[in-house]
Chains A and B, each alone.
Chain A
Amino acid sequence: MAGLRIDPSDATPIWSQIEEGLRRLVASGALSPGAVVPSVRDLAKELRVNPATVVKAYQRLTDAGVLTVRRGDGTYVAEVPPAMSRTERARILREAASRYANLASTLGVAPEDAQEALRAAWRKGDKS
């Protein structure tokens, strides 16, 4: 599936990488409401991962209302993807910020420079 990349060597569990990746594709509109997502078998083969990990990711996304399963048909992006709760959004932002801050500090970058790099990336993201 275009835009979904996972790294089996990463410390983040594979099901979590798939879950986050699909959430991102839905949030960015790359996967539109009602779009079909690959079968567990196809996605597992494509990513070369254990199908059970894909099942777990799909299950969690279905429970969260991001995906819906049509019995005997397949799995689709929900017509009305749920708005993310405020606490959930805050949690994701906090985790990503912590990763970025760690990276910047590892590189020996001053906080002000790291913030400027973030602003620049933001402006670039707005244009594209």
Chain B
Amino acid sequence: MTEPIRIEGLTVRYGRSTACRDVSLRVALGSVYALLGRNGAGKSSLVRCLLGEQMPSAGRTLLFGDNAWTSRRAAMARIGVVPEEPDAPVGMTARELSDFCRRIYPRWDGAAVMARFQRFGVPPNSPFGRLSKGQKGEVMLALALGHAPEVLILDDPTLGLDVVARSALYDEIVGELADRGTTVFVTTHDLAGFEGIVTRVGILKEGKMILDEDMEALKARFRRIRYANHLTETRTAFGTELDAFHAVRVRVRGWGIEAIVANFDDATFESFRAIDGVDDASAEAMPLEEIFLALAGQEKGNGQ
């Protein structure tokens, strides 16, 4: 079956600067893909190309197998989009926006949209321009789901939302997944909120994909290891104890050493603990946010 989203060798240049370099990824049917990256990493350019709003400098983005740039209209009937900046005519109410969309989408479910407005606490009869930032985002989400899209694309959907609004957003997404198996592609800064929902993670750094992996595999291989290093005094042996690991980041702390490793497994850790001079070693699973920071944060180094 054709993947809902497929990006092949996407490159986006603006004059001399390059926003995306040879980016490829696939979003499988029914999966929840989170694309992470710091500001300026290239997420927005990628999303614009994905929605057929911008022509790539090289490569292509496919929606249901069709080029997003050349066959945008056909794909949009099957896709719901929540843009980074909520955008609608300021004088129209939420109810009017829903009625307007009904004319565009044959499958429009106005009752479901009104029910969502109610769940979110969005006043359906206030002009869009008078709504709060969070409410505008909620209107966008309610509308994006109005034609029961097969794919939901969310561009930093929690930006500017308070805790309650964020909670309503997760509820709505989980409900969509449960009821209709919707495929979701989300760019986000809110890693903790999406951690349990996401099935695959991509990380963009300076325009390049530095990671593209299933969530379970990612969590299984990353650990924060802490130990007292009594090898430091003998200088010659310093640093070699971690050789069996791929250490993404190593920091010297007052109490010892903290290393973030990307290839953890129990057997390697057992041999590590047995090294003479490595004491009190512990290994801790890491939240997605910390894995992201370790990979996309500052350059890797010894942190001194």
Contacts and interface: CB of A to CB of B under 8 A. Distances in A.
B134 to A, nearest CB: 19
B177 A44 contact: yes
A74 interface: no
Interface stretch (A7-15, A61-69, A117-125): A7-15
A52 B30 contact: yes
Interface in B249-292: 280-282, 285-288
Contacts of A106: 280-282
A50 B287 contact: no
Nearest to A49: B196
Contact of B196 (A8, A11, A40, A108): A8
Contact of A50 (B199, B223, B285): B199
Nearest to B197: A50
A41 B179 contact: yes
Given A45-B174, A51-B174, A106-B280, A10 B285 contact: yes
B220 A11 contact: yes
Contacts of B197: 48-50
Given A45-B171, A48-B170, A50-B196, A9 B288 contact: yes
A31 interface: no
Given A48-B196, A52-B30, A106-B282, A11 B178 contact: no
Contacts of B177: 44, 50-52
A47 interface: yes
B261 to A, nearest CB: 12
A11 B223 contact: yes
B160 interface: no
B216 A13 contact: yes
Nearest to B32: A50
Interface residues of A, number: 20
A124 B175 CA distance: 41
Nearest to B284: A11
Interface string B162-198: 0000000011001101110000000000000101111
A8 B220 contact: no
Among A51, A53, A108, max chain B CB count under 10 A is at A51
A44 B219 CA distance: 20
B10 to A, nearest CB: 27
Given A41-B179, A47-B196, A50-B197, A9 B174 contact: no
Given A41-B175, A41-B179, A52 B285 contact: no
A48 B280 CA distance: 35
Interface of A: 6, 8-11, 13-14, 40-41, 44-45, 47-53, 106, 108
Interface of B: 30, 32, 170-171, 174-175, 177-179, 193, 195-199, 216, 219-220, 223, 280-282, 285-288
* 9 nearest A-B residue pairs (beta carbon): A8-B196, A9-B287, A11-B285, A49-B196, A41-B178, A51-B178, A106-B282, A8-B195, A50-B197
Given A9-B286, A45-B175, A51-B174, 4 more contacts: A6-B196, A8-B195, A11-B219, A48-B174
